[in-house]
Amino acid sequence: MSNLTIVIIDDEKKLRELLKEYINMIFPNHKHEIILCNSVKTGIEAIETYLPDLVFLDIEMPEANGFELLKNVNRETFEVVFTTAYAQYMEQSINDYGCFGYILKPFDREKLKTIFERFESKKEDKKYFKFINTSKNKRMLVELDEILYCKADNNYCIIYLKDTNYLMSKTLRDVESRLPESIFIRVHRSFLVNVSQVDYYDKDRNGLVLKFEIDDLDNFIPVSASYKENVDKYFL
C-alpha cells in the first residue's frame, strides 16, 4: 500500500489519538500523513487543504454532526468511514451517505485493518490522482483521464497533462504504485503511460504514439526491450 493522507475528525482527543496509534501499528513501515481535527469546522478545512484519501468521521459532535460535514465538501475525492458509539446511525450512514466503512466505538483494530485492505483493493476504481506540485509546494488534484504520461527525472517525476505539466518529488516507481494498473502501464525505465491516451503502437520505431502533442514535445514515447512484452499485451 502506498502512503495515504488521512483525516480523523472526532471531538474526543483520546479517541483521535487512539485511532492514529492503531493506524500506525497496522502499518509500521508506512508514513501515512494523519491530520487530527476536533470539530466539523476544522474537519472541513483539513479536507479542503490536504485532499485526503480517507476520512474517519465521528457523527455526534457538539457544534455540528458528521452528516452535516459531508454536505459541505466534495465527496468524490475521498472515502469516509464513520466512527461512532451509536449503532442506530449505521443504516443512515450507508443508505443516505454511502459510507465506505463504519466502526463502532470502542475501536476494533482488526476491523480497522479490514477497512484498509478493502480500500487498497479499490485502487482500480480511482478517478483522481493527488500529489504535491513540488515547484509551487501546492497540493494538486487531477482526473486520471487528464494524465497523458509520467516521466522520470532522477528522483523526481514529471506529470504531463494535455496543456501543462507538474513536478513531483517522488520517483516514477512511487507514482506507478499509486496509479491503477488497468489504466497506466510502464513502457520504459523513464516512462509510465496512460493507455487511453495512446493512438497506436508503432512497432517499426518501437514506441507508442499519443493522441495529443504536448507543446514542442514529440508525442512519441519509446518502448524499451525490458517492457516490450508488457506493452504487447495491451496493443497487439
Q: What are the grid coordinates assigned to 88, written together?
A: 442506530
Q: Residues 113, 132: one domain?
A: no
Would you call the peptide bond into 28 cis, given omega within 30 degrees of 0 as the criterion?
Answer: no
> Which of 74, 97, 121 finishes a domain?
121
Q: Residues 111, 190: one domain?
A: no
pTM: 0.74
Structural domain total, the chain: 2
d(CA 23, CA 36): 13
Q: Residues 93, 30: one domain?
A: yes
Q: Residues 130, 220: one domain?
A: yes
Q: Residues 79, 163: one domain?
A: no
> Which of 84, 106, 121 finishes a domain?
121
DSSP state of 163: S
pLDDT per residue over 62-110, tens digit each? 888 888 898 899 887 899 998 887 777 676 666 666 788 888 888 889 9
Which residues lie across from 147 on neighbouring strands?
Answer: 161
Q: Which residue has the higher pLDDT, 39 or 66?
A: 39
Calculate mean pLDDT across residues 43-70: 90
Q: Residues 159, 202: one domain?
A: yes
> Which of 64, 87, 121 finishes a domain?
121
At 223, which CATH number? 2.40.50.1020
pLDDT per residue over 109-167, tens digit each? 999 999 998 888 876 677 888 888 888 888 888 999 999 999 999 999 999 998 889 99
Place of cell 509551487: 136
At 22, which CATH number? 3.40.50.2300
Range of the domain at 50: 5-121
Residue 58, classed as helix, strand or coil, is: strand
Q: Residues 110, 40: one domain?
A: yes
